[in-house]
Amino acid sequence: MTMRLRIRHIAAGVIVASVLVVASARAEDKTIKIGALLPISGPGSYFGAQDKQGIELALEQINKTGVNGRKLEVRYEDSGCSPLPATQAAKRLIEQYKPDVVIGEECSDATLAIMPLMEEANVPLLNAGSSSIKITEPGNPWTFRIMPNEVMQGVDIATNAYKRLNARTAVLLYENTNAGIGNAKVFNETFTKLGGKILADIGFGRDVNDFTSIATRIAGLGAVDVIPTYTLEGQGLKITQALAQAGVTKGGGGNAIQLGTIWLPFGFEQKAGKAALGYIRIVQFDPTDQRPAVRDFIAAFKAKYNQEPTHLHAHAYDQITLIADAIKRGASDPKSIRDALAATKNFSGVTGSAEFDKTNQNVKMDTVHYMETQPDLSWKALKWN
Amino acid sequence: MTVVLQQGINGIVLGSLYVLVALGLTLVYGVLVQINFAHADIVTLGAFSAYFFMHGLGGGYIPSIAVALLVGGILGWLMNAAIFAPLREKGSELLPLIATIGVSVMMENAMLAWFGPIPYAFDSPYSNHVMRLGGTFITLQNALIIAVSAATIALLYAFMKFTFLGKALRAVAQDRETAGLMGINPNQLVMLTFVIASALAGMAGAMLGPVLVLTPFAGTSVIVKAFAIVIIGGFGNVEGTILAGLVVGLIESYTTQYLGPGMIDIVVFVLLLLMLAVRPTGLIAERREENV
């Protein structure tokens, strides 16, 4: 082989290799990388387990055909529902995975901790489970929230308690976290402004196990109309049972009605038993909703997992479909995804609609559904919104 | 007045639970001068054993307590035989201590993998039976907790004071080498200590299950208090631990009533610091060698 021929072969090889590298890079470019920061361990890990199911279902459906020629890919990191593990997980995700968009966290304290990291890395963060007002006030250009914040929820619950339930006295029960304190504060302000009276304001740590003493204290306060409760499922169960045992709530023969928020998963009533009778709470997803999107989601979920979906499955599913919606509208990288999310109009997900204001808070209230626990532990949709 | 009485009842129930958990910790410390960080996870596994015995095999709640006791005992035997005893033979006090942390993390994650993160609703048939008297109330489950706790304390006391094995155990706690020279096999008695302590932890799990939020992290949530009780009671002092458990339970109840539950940890741990500063030997001062 002559020297000239050898050079030609080498040059041809280099060209083929370059073409392959470019093609491979383009194929990679066609994948939208989604980082998922979810509590997979610790007391909030039921969020992560259920979110993952909703995400996987959405991915399976979207990736069948792709969206605008792109596939979606998710990498999960355990953010532990707490600031320190969330910060570590977010750094790992940003440095190693280099996501185009991140979804999560569920707990407000964890979300608040990761927001500055996402802003610094210029990666949009789409949140569906944290209620603290600090997440969207005064506004962060890289953080979006689908669910109603604590002010939207708190004002709505307090107003409904006063006007629809004719409640005049309340006891606030909440975990001592940003979300717990914030939600309770909004209820307090709205309820007292309307003319109601807060008989006791009781915050507690996540390490409290036995709520009999708290229930005893509430029982000693006299007539209590409503007890807004802001806590995770585990403690929520014990609070509901303790209040019934102390004869405070309807479930224990008393008159007080427990009010709750989006935090609790479906199936809570079955675990709490008759103690949950009359419990009214907000859920982010109404399984009796007859919109085709909701019926299709429920059918697909049951087919894949052989179980009924909860609002946690639903809001995780909506996070992915909202990102797919942004990709469909031409977004392809972190900045364009952020811009597309901000420009979202009339997105209709299974939890409700999405349209963001200038603080990137979803302003649509049709994601708020009120449910009341019936004597057979089933739900009755209250149609208050 | 009714509220004061009711909070007293609540405090005794809570204190009884803490005593059940802390007794095993104090036994191991008394004999081995070793803190067992895996104790919390044996409590959790005991709770899950009782839960699955009831909900998987259709067993009753009372037999499930015996099952949890047995599971705890077997686990204690296994842990000591496979991990702690070989490490102690290497002559280091630090290695077994670190190993208990390793076992704890391993067990917690194994339980997370097996049982999942979603809280279990572990209701005993006695959880919803509420007895009311003169404005006060107690669930049958809580009454059972007090009864089991009292019976356990009595049996443990009788075992330690009146049986040959109990006396031998105290001898090992006082001076392991001399006890060995007297014909007592210290290794077998250390094993016995681990088995009894772990069996108690398993049983505590079955009693706590219906009260606690049952997740793979359930035991962890009470263990910090249990450690505080062991310190307040005097490291390794059984009588002190019982008294401290009840005191902490009552403090929690009355703090909840008059200061708010957010103050519980502050009050308990201020007490702990005060005890360390003023009375480091614990509530019931004894020479350490007589603790167990």
Distance from CA of B174 to the nearest CA of A (A): 36
Q: Does B253 touch chain A if contact means CB atoms closer than 8 Å?
A: yes
The pLDDT tens digits along chain A (385 residues) read 555 555 566 555 555 555 444 444 444 458 999 999 999 887 778 889 999 999 999 999 999 999 999 999 999 999 998 899 999 999 999 999 999 999 999 998 999 999 999 999 999 999 998 988 999 987 889 999 998 888 888 999 999 999 999 999 999 999 998 889 999 999 999 999 999 999 999 999 887 878 999 999 999 998 999 999 999 888 898 899 999 999 999 999 999 999 988 777 778 888 888 899 999 998 888 888 899 999 999 999 999 999 999 888 999 999 999 999 999 999 999 999 999 999 999 899 999 999 999 999 999 877 788 989 999 988 888 888 7
Sequential DSSP letters for A25-65: HHHHHTEEEEEEEE--SSTTHHHHHHHHHHHHHHHHHHHHH
pLDDT reported for residue B134:
81
Give the distance between the most distant pair of CA atoms in chain A. Answer: 103
pLDDT reported for residue A22:
46
The CATH number of whichever domain residue B202 belongs to comes to: 1.10.3470
- Across the interface, which of A202, A213, A271 has its CB nearest the CB of B121? A271
> What gap in Å lies between CA A254 and CA B150, rounded to an integer?
33
Residues of B in contact with A237 (CB under 8 A): 119, 121, 213
Cite the DSSP H helix spans in chain A: 3-29, 45-65, 83-92, 108-121, 150-163, 178-194, 212-219, 233-245, 268-272, 292-305, 311-328, 334-342
What is the ipTM, given to two decimal places?
0.80
pLDDT reported for residue A76:
97
The DSSP secondary-structure symbol of A70 reads B
The answer to whether the CB atoms of A209 and B221 lie below 8 A apart is: yes
What pTM, to 2 d.p., does this model score?
0.77
Residue with tokens 């002092």: B237
Cα angle value A328/A61/A316 (rounded, 5°): 80
In sequence order, the 6+-apart residues with CB closer than 8 A to the CB of B233 are B22, B26, B239, B240, B241, B242, B243, B244, B245, B282, B283, B284
Where residue A370 falls (left for φ over 0; alpha for ψ -120 to 50; beta otherwise) is beta
User: Mean pLDDT in chain B?
Assistant: 87
Cα angle value A276/A237/B60 (rounded, 5°): 95
In sequence order, the 6+-apart residues with CB closer than 8 A to the CB of A215 are A239, A242, A243, A245, A246, A248
How many structural domains compose chain B? 1
Residue A335: phi and psi, rounded to 5, are: -70, -45
Low-confidence winner among A223-227, B2-6, B145-149, B284-288 (lowest mean pLDDT)? B284-288
Residues of A in contact with B222 (CB under 8 A): 209
pLDDT reported for residue B179:
78
The 8 Å CB, 24+ separation contacts for A300-303 are: A300/A57, A300/A61, A301/A53, A301/A54, A301/A57
Minimal Cα distance from A233: which residue of B? B119
How many CB atoms lie under 10 A from the CB of residue A221? Answer: 14
- The CA distances from residue B77 to B23, B193, B273, in Å, are 17, 9, 34
pLDDT reported for residue A295:
96
Tell me which residues of chain A have a C-beta less than 8 Å from any C-beta of chain B: 40-43, 45-46, 48-50, 176, 202-205, 207-210, 212-214, 216-217, 219-220, 233-235, 237-238, 241, 245-247, 252, 265, 270-275
Residues of A in contact with B17 (CB under 8 A): 210
Minimal Cα distance from A237: which residue of B? B213
Residue B286 has pLDDT above 60, yes or no: no
Strands (DSSP E) found in B160-280: none
Span B248-272, pLDDT tens digits: 999 999 999 999 888 888 898 898 8
> What gap in Å lies between CA A375 and CA A240, rounded to an integer?
15
pLDDT reported for residue A101:
98
Number of residue pairs across A and B with CB atoms under 8 Å? 111
- Across the interface, which of A238, A245, A275 has its CB nearest the CB of B213? A238
The answer to whether the CB atoms of A217 and B3 lie below 8 A apart is: yes
Write out the residue limits of the CATH 3.40.50.2300 domain(s) in chain A: 30-147+289-354, 151-283+369-381
CATH of domain A151-283+369-381: 3.40.50.2300
Residue type, A149: N
Residues of A in contact with B10 (CB under 8 A): 210, 212-213, 216
Distance from CA of A172 to the nearest CA of B (A): 12
- Across the interface, which of B10, B215, B253 has its CB nearest the CB of A234? B215
How many CB atoms lie under 10 A from the CB of residue B265? Answer: 17
Whether the CB-CB separation of B186 and B13 falls below 8 Å is answered with: no
- Across the interface, which of B7, B117, B212 has its CB nearest the CB of A216? B7
Distance from CA of B200 to the nearest CA of A (A): 20
In sequence order, the 6+-apart residues with CB closer than 8 A to the CB of A145 are A126, A127, A128, A130, A135, A136, A360, A361, A362
Minimal Cα distance from B217: which residue of A? A42
Return the residue in A217, A264, A268, A274 with the most chain B beta carbons within 10 A, the one to mutate for interface testing.
Answer: A217
Q: Does B130 touch chain A if contact means CB atoms closer than 8 Å?
A: yes
pLDDT reported for residue A24:
47
- Closest by CA to A248, choosing from A204, A272, A271, A217, is A217
The answer to whether the CB atoms of B256 and A213 lie below 8 A apart is: yes
pLDDT reported for residue B89:
81
- Residue B264's domain comprises 2-290
Distance from CA of B286 to the nearest CA of A (A): 32
The answer to whether the CB atoms of A46 and B118 lie below 8 A apart is: yes
pLDDT reported for residue A23:
46
Q: Are strands A347-348 and A353-354 parallel, antiparallel or unpaired?
A: antiparallel
The answer to whether the CB atoms of B213 and A43 lie below 8 A apart is: yes
Residue A372: phi and psi, rounded to 5, are: -125, 135
Q: Which pair of structure tokens corresponds to residue B166?
A: 């109990």
Residue B235 has pLDDT above 80, yes or no: no
Distance from CA of B81 to the nearest CA of A (A): 30
Looking at the structure, give the CATH architecture of the domain made up of residues A30-147+289-354: 3-Layer(aba) Sandwich (3.40)
Residues of B in contact with A42 (CB under 8 A): 117, 217
Distance from CA of B120 to the nearest CA of A (A): 8
Q: Does B24 touch chain A if contact means CB atoms closer than 8 Å?
A: no
Q: Does B56 touch chain A if contact means CB atoms closer than 8 Å?
A: no
Whether the CB-CB separation of A385 and A372 falls below 8 Å is answered with: no
